[in-house]
Each structure stands twice: as structure tokens, then as C-alpha cells.
Amino acid sequence: MTPIKVAVLGGSGWMGKVHTMAYQTFPHFFGPSGGTAEVAMIVEANPAAAKDLQARAPGAIITQNWQEAIADPEIDLIDICLPDSLHHEVAKAALLAGKHVYCEKPLADTAAEARELADIAREKGVITRVGHAFPCNPVHHLAKEIIDAGEIGEIKMFRGCQHVDMYGDPLAPFMWRADGTKAPTGIVGDTGSHVFSFMDFLVGRVSRLIADNLIVTPRRPVVDGVGYGEQGQLDGSEDWAEVTNPDATNLLCRFENGASGVVDFSRVATGRKFMQTYEIYGTRGSLAYTYDEVNRLRVYSNDDRTGRQGFRHIDVGPENETFRAFLPLPNFALGYNESKIIEAAEVIRSITSGQPQWPTFETGHHIAQIVDACMESSRTQAWVDIPPS
Ligand SMILES: NC(=O)c1ccc[n+]([C@@H]2O[C@H](COP(=O)([O-])OP(=O)(O)OC[C@H]3O[C@@H](n4cnc5c(N)ncnc54)[C@H](O)[C@@H]3O)[C@@H](O)[C@H]2O)c1
């Protein structure tokens, strides 16, 4: 089978590196039967950062111009790892050119933009995928299997959160993530979208919500050349930039199936290097997950007899096909990069088989609707209804 030719856009950034690695790596674990990929082009606007790209993808064309990737008839898949505000423009151009598109989250800055992308993708009949890799961890597929089998009954409540402390320190440098022109929805699209992806995967569509967004630190020093999570050196001569998008959000929501949700996320939770949890309460049992125990699901069942009830923990291991592809032994954890390798394998399998796989741009649209509703609700301090797709 001819390899799918991929152009990775934003190749020197965090996601650009991870995606490039994932295409090169997944056949080691999943074999070539679902198709393979060739990173044929890397687009990177920062020439200094682009220096080592040729070594990372031998033979690939290296360019600074994303339009070149879209115009190249050899390229099958456009992989967008660019700052958020470029996603819509680049994805739209790629879809109109008939390319398959794999776009990092958030799919677009607004639900209207995301709707437009999903509609063009449907008209063009191409494969789309949004970069929500956390649910690719087989532990979340176990959670879904338990829910779909009715083992915890009807879902009544969801609690979810995701926190980091990259901006816990008020002197942590300004970067595009805090700039409302480059990331208009701030933490809501950046981190909230991950929690929303779990909600969509495990509980269902959201029908209404009320949210409170906060800018916790209104100004940050500008320190050139610092990457994600880096502090840089401050010498007192720095310029300061306004933070123009939310640092943190608290929200309540209702799902279409009647369940209710409590969700919070932020980039200012001092000491929380990466906190991601959910709890799902049903009429017959419950599920609880924390990223601190990355492959472990806690399961409670009313069916256990009195005196023996309590949360059991299940560590996903080699009895799961996806886990076994990486590791023959239980308790050797699958982490973030493995989730991205699984995601890349699924994207390529979707293209070769013609079968889209969750989360497509339709999912990206619903998540964008939730993000939009958070922004509007926080502005108006009122409940906002989310229309059906
Ligand atoms: N799914 C996840 O878990 C996850 C994690 C981190 C980031 N992301 C998303 O991935 C995207 C990229 O984030 P990142 O952390 O890799 O950012 P980053 O800043 O590390 O990388 C972005 C790269 O794009 C390059 N770039 C900027 N404008 C460009 C242009 N016009 N043409 C070509 N290159 C350009 C930059 O030079 C940089 O190398 C964001 O949308 C972010 O929300 C997703």
C-alpha cells in the first residue's frame, strides 16, 4: 500500500514534533496493514527553529509557507499543528483543495467557523480528525464499554476538570496562548476542549450551560524565545503584554440526556503540573479517573453485595488489544505520546479505509459550540442554550 503523504504544519512546535514522531512510529506497534504514512513536507515559519527538521524527517520538503503544502498535489493529508487562530483559515483552504485534514484542537475559534469546516469536509467527502488524543488511551475505551453496556445504569452526573500551573506564577512569560488575537478563547478552547471531548465521548451532547471565565493575571512579561512551560530570564527591561483571553473557567451544564455536569479548568493552578480527572455517576454504579494513574479506572457497582461495596480499580493491560500493541505486561503505563501514536494510526487507517473515526470535524463543531457558549455565558452571566447540530 502506498504511504499516505503528510504535510505537518508548525513542525518545530511541541505538537509538530509529536505528530511527526507518531507517523514514523505507529507501524512498529500496529503493523502496516492499516496503511503507513510518509512525512513528505514540514512547514515551519520560524527559520531558527526549523534547523533540525531535515534530520527528523529525512527527504521531506522543508518550507515556511503552508500554502505550498496545500498546492502540492502529492500531499494527501494536511496536519495542522499551528497556533489556534490559524486553524480555520488553513483547514478551510486544505479542505477546498480536497485534502484530508487532521487539525489540532481547538478546531476553530468559533462554532460558526467549525460548522463551515464540517460542511465543506462533508461536501468534499474527505476524512477529518480533531487532535483530542487523551480519549485514545484504552482506559477511556474501557469506560465507554462499561457505560454502553449499561453497567452503571443511566448517567446522572458528570464532574470533570483539567488544570496546569504554566501560568500559576504571575511572572511566567507571555506567549501566544495568552494572546486573544492568536487564541481568542484562551483556556476554554485550549484546555476546556479536552474536558469537553471526554464529555462528548462518554456522556453525550451538551444542551445548555452557565460559565464564569476569569483572567487571573492581567499582564505578563514578554521574554523572547521561550517555549511552553519555560521561564526564561527576566532582567527588568522586559516589555509587558496584556493577557486578553481567559486563564480559568468554572461551569455548570446540562446534557441532552438529562445528566448534569460540573466542570472546571485553568492554567493557573499552582502546583498542579497536570491534573485531569472525571467522575461519572450512574443509577447503578460510578466511574472515576485521574491522569495521575493514567491507565487505571475506578469502578463502583451497586450490584456488589452489602458489606463488599466500594470502588474497585482496574488497570488496563495486555488483555486490551491497543495496550498489547505497545506492551506485553500490565502496569507498564501508556502515556501521552502513546495516545498520539494511537491517534496518528487511526487517522491513517481512516484515510486508507474511508471510515471516519471519532472525533471528526462534526465533533469539533459540537465542542466549539460548548466553547462559544462558555464565552457568551461568561459575558452575559446567564445560562446559554446550545442548539442541536
Ligand atoms: N492535543 C493536545 O494535547 C495538544 C497539546 C498542545 C498543543 N495542542 C494544540 O496544538 C497547536 C500547536 O500547539 P503547540 O503547543 O505545538 O504550539 P507551539 O508554539 O509549540 O508550535 C507552533 C509552531 O507553529 C509555528 N508557526 C506559527 N505560525 C506559523 C505559520 N504561519 N506557518 C508555519 N508555522 C507557523 C511556530 O513557529 C511553532 O513552531 C495548538 O492549536 C494547540 O492548542 C494540542
Domain identity same for 230 and 375: yes
Domain identity same for 91 and 155: no
Q: Is 305 domain-assigned?
A: yes
Q: Is 357 domain-assigned?
A: no
Domain identity same for 79 and 153: no
> Which of 8, 9, 12, 14 for mutating ligand 1's site (highest number of atoms within 8 Å of CB)?
14
* Residue 383: CA count within 13 A, CB half-sphere: 8
Q: Is 90 domain-assigned?
A: yes
- Centroid of ligand 1 to alpha carbon of 82 (angstroms): 4
**Of 108, 134, 160, which marks where a domain is finished?**
134
> Which of 81, 109, 130 for mutating ligand 1's site (highest number of atoms within 8 Å of CB)?
81
- CATH number of the domain that 129 lies in? 3.40.50.720
Residue 273: burial class (beta carbons within 10 Å; 0-12, 13-18, 19+) = exposed
Domain identity same for 286 and 374: yes
Shortest-distance atom of ligand 1 to CA 84: 41
Burial 220-235 (b: 16+ CB within 10 A, else e): bbebeebeeeeebeee
Q: Is 338 domain-assigned?
A: no
Q: What is the pLDDT of residue 230?
A: 77
**With pLDDT > 70 as the criterion, what percentage of the chain qualifies?**
100
**Of 134, 149, 179, which marks where a domain is finished?**
134
Q: What is the pLDDT of residue 364?
A: 98
Domain identity same for 274 and 162: yes
- pLDDT tens digit sequence for 304-315: 999 999 999 999
Q: Is 353 domain-assigned?
A: no
Domain identity same for 67 and 151: no
Domain identity same for 294 and 222: yes
**Of 80, 104, 134, which marks where a domain is finished?**
134
- Check residue 100 and report its DSSP letter: E
Q: Which domain holds residue 79?
A: 4-134
Shortest-distance atom of ligand 1 to CA 134: 3
Q: Whose CA is closest to atom 22 on ligand 1?
A: 13
Angle, to 10 degrees, between the axis of helix 336-353 and the axis of helix 14-30? 70
Shortest-distance atom of ligand 1 to CA 15: 16
- Centroid of ligand 1 to alpha carbon of 222 (angstroms): 18
Q: What is the pLDDT of residue 231?
A: 75
pTM: 0.96
Domain identity same for 161 and 99: no
Q: Is 347 domain-assigned?
A: no
Protein residues whose CB sits closer than 6 Å to any atom of ligand 1: 9-10, 12-16, 43-46, 49, 66, 81-84, 86, 104-105, 131, 133, 190, 228
Domain identity same for 144 and 124: no
Residues of the chain predicted below pLDDT 70: none
Q: Is 340 domain-assigned?
A: no
- CATH number of the domain that 141 lies in? 3.30.360.10
How many domains is the chain built from? 2
Shortest-distance atom of ligand 1 to CA 17: 16
Q: Is 346 domain-assigned?
A: no
Q: Among residues 74, 64, 117, 123, which one has the least CA distance to residue 93?
A: 117
Domain identity same for 101 and 31: yes
* Amino acid at residue number 321: E
- Centroid of ligand 1 to alpha carbon of 165 (angstroms): 19
Domain identity same for 22 and 73: yes
Domain identity same for 124 and 158: no
* Amino acid at residue number 338: E
Per DSSP, the three-state class of 43 is: strand
Burial 337-356 (b: 16+ CB within 10 A, else e): ebbbbbbbbbbbbbbbeeeb
> Which cell is 47 given?
527559520
| Whether 61 contacts 40, CB under 8 Å | yes
- pLDDT tens digit sequence for 103-135: 999 999 999 999 999 999 999 999 999 999 999
